[in-house]
Amino acid sequence: MKYLAQQAINALQLGSIYALIALGYSMVYGVLTMINFAHGDVFMLGAFFCLLLIALVPVPFWLALIVVMAATALLGTLIERFAYRPLRKAPRVSAIITALGCGLVIQNTTLGISPYARPMPRLLENATYQFGGVTITMLQIVIIGVSLGLMLALDFLIRKTSFGMAMRAIASDRAMVSLLGIPANEIIAITFAIGAALGGAAGLLYGMAYPVVSASMGITVGWKAFVAAVIGGIGNMRGAVLGAFILGSVEVMTVAVLPSTYRDLISYSLLLLILVFKPYGLLGKPALHKA
Amino acid sequence: MSGLLETRRLTRQFGGLRAIGDLSLSVNRGEILGVIGPNGAGKTTLFNLLTGIYPPSSGEILFEGLPIAGLRPSEIARRGVARTFQNIRLFRQLTVLENVRIAYDSQIVCSPPDALLSTPHARLREKESINASMELLELFELGSLAENRAGDLSYGAQRRLEIVRALALDPKLLLLDEPAAGMNPSEAMQLTDFLRWVHGKFSLTIVLIEHHMQMVMALSDRIEVLDFGVRIAGGKPDEVKGNPRVIEAYLGTEGELP
């Protein structure tokens, strides 16, 4: 029982990080029906920005989080503006290739600057707490707390604010949104910024939890989060979070009972299985109207 | 000058096809202008040009005396041009209230940080937007449906909602693209009374594309007739009705308009 609770905390930690990244994939898909394949690399850069920042000025965790999120948000809008927007009306394949290309450029630039994996310095003190025999670290509390906080903020933003309404409306009819006086391009740019900021936050948190930062983590972790978004129903925010926690739990449970080399086999098999029965993902719905 | 909108030699080509050619019209403040013509006459293209969906190939569009051709649709909308569509284009998965609030809020965009921090400014705006939108919905007897998904409304209610949403922009000019599409004659006559009421209540200028002849004749102060993107006639409803070129465009031969 204690063992199970311990594993549940681990699953929660991994799931929260997947969720933050998955939201970025899902938000962009929601407004543009496009997979932002560079998103995993924005996540990776989140970790590297943090390394860079700490190397320059030793800042506390909270400040690092804010700076990293601002930097990745800026990066996200730049990618949208200069790589994706010019191709908005281009064939879908061109947009996919551009996104993949963008990811590879980011990844290889990072690789050029930092060919080897780097250790992430400690940002939080190493406190642990005991709850009835279950150990939880300060780091885990922060990761889960920050992630949940960001997710709740996003949920509020999407459901309750005029920005959120516009974002949801763009998903169904972008031209109509413009005809109502809303600059759709600005809403799309902000969507990218928010998605990228969440990805950057995830990169920082991931770097703290598994403290080896490398240029390839955008692929290994980013793609998992993409899988999570698809399992949940891409374009649906709550689906992305659900998918991420399912994936996180499956991975943690797999590693608990099987050699860790089985982890990806099991998680990708799960993706295939879910999609066979729910082709639009767990909470996804087929699009009714696209203009 | 009482002209609210004016087009000067407006032309739009699609490849070799000239959808609108050398079209010069003006819309006076406060009037209802009917635009009729057979299918493919370029009526909807005209609306697409006026709202900035695509730019004209040549020619000018003046709104309140200022050129608007080439502006983005959102900029033209903010200057006071609102529009409805022949095929209803509501945000089906949003609520009725949200559909109206989107249009209302476009005037008072609140930045995400502002909204997220729930600043007093943001909260005030939100309240204002909800109250104003609800007031409009009540006026159109849609208040009780405010929390329903727009896509779940009946056809008639969706038509009304689309007009409410356009009105939430506080437009000076309302472009209606076949509002009576899919209605039977008695529903169309009800819509006629309804539009006349809206026109007066909101002191609007309206341009109306409609195939429903009785309705156009009853509502319009003036009528312009297009065929193959060119203006072939124009004038008071009675003048247009008897114009042989109009009858020919519609029926191909001599005959009476329905």
Say which of B74, B112, B122 has its CB closest to residue A183.
Answer: B74
Tally the domains of chain A. Answer: 1
Q: CA B22, B85, B238: angle at the middle one, nearest 5?
A: 60
SS3 content of chain B, % helix, strand, coil (to 5): 40, 25, 35
In angstroms, the CA A208 to CA A144 distance is 12
CATH of domain B90-172: 3.40.50.300
Q: How high is the mean pLDDT in each 10-residue block of chain B (258 residues)?
A: 86 91 94 92 93 94 94 94 93 95 78 67 85 94 94 92 95 95 88 94 95 91 92 89 82 54
Q: How high is the mean pLDDT in each 10-residue block of chain A (291 residues)?
A: 88 96 95 93 97 93 96 96 92 91 95 91 88 89 96 92 90 92 92 96 96 92 93 93 95 90 88 90 69 36
CB count within 10 Å of CB B28 equals: 16
Would the CB atoms of B109 and A162 count as touching at under 8 Å?
Answer: yes
Instruction: Report the CATH number that the domain containing residue A16 is assigned in CATH.
Output: 1.10.3470
Q: CA B143, A291, A283: angle at the middle one, nearest 5?
A: 70
- Complex ipTM value: 0.88
Would the CB atoms of A181 and B78 count as touching at under 8 Å?
Answer: yes
- Contact of A155 with chain B, judged by CB distance below 8 Å, is answered with no
Task: Please tell me the predicted confidence (pLDDT) of residue A1.
Answer: 76
Q: Which residue of B has its CA nearest to A175?
A: B53
Task: Please tell me the predicted confidence (pLDDT) of residue A288.
Answer: 47
Task: Please tell me the predicted confidence (pLDDT) of residue B250.
Answer: 75
Would the CB atoms of B105 and A165 count as touching at under 8 Å?
Answer: yes
Residues on chain A touching B151 (C-beta within 8 angstroms): 288
Would the CB atoms of A165 and B94 count as touching at under 8 Å?
Answer: yes
Residues on chain B touching A168 (C-beta within 8 angstroms): 91, 93-94, 98
Task: Answer whether residue A262 is part of any domain.
Answer: yes
Task: Please tell me the predicted confidence (pLDDT) of residue B256.
Answer: 52
Instruction: Compute φ and ψ for B234, nearest 5 degrees.
Output: -170, 155
Task: Answer whether residue A255 is part of any domain.
Answer: yes
> A111: domain range?
2-277
In A106-259, DSSP assigns E strands to 118-119, 128-131, 134-137, 212-213
Cα of B33 to nearest chain A Cα, Å: 21
Task: Please tell me the predicted confidence (pLDDT) of residue B58.
Answer: 94
In angstroms, the CA B82 to CA B103 distance is 10
- 8 Å CB contact between B41 and B223: no
Cα of A241 to nearest chain B Cα, Å: 20
Task: Please tell me the predicted confidence (pLDDT) of residue A289.
Answer: 43
Q: Which residue of B has its CA nearest to A178?
A: B74
Edge to edge, what strands does the sheet with B58-63 contain? B17-28, B3-14, B58-63, B66-67
Considering the segment(s) B1-44+54-70+212-220+230-258 as one domain, its CATH architecture is 3-Layer(aba) Sandwich (3.40)
- Contact of A288 with chain B, judged by CB distance below 8 Å, is answered with yes
Cβ pairs bridging A and B (under 8 Å): 92
Most A CBs within 10 A among B76, B102, B126, B147, hence the mutation to make, goes to B102
Task: Answer whether residue A286 is part of any domain.
Answer: no
Task: Answer whether residue A48 is part of any domain.
Answer: yes
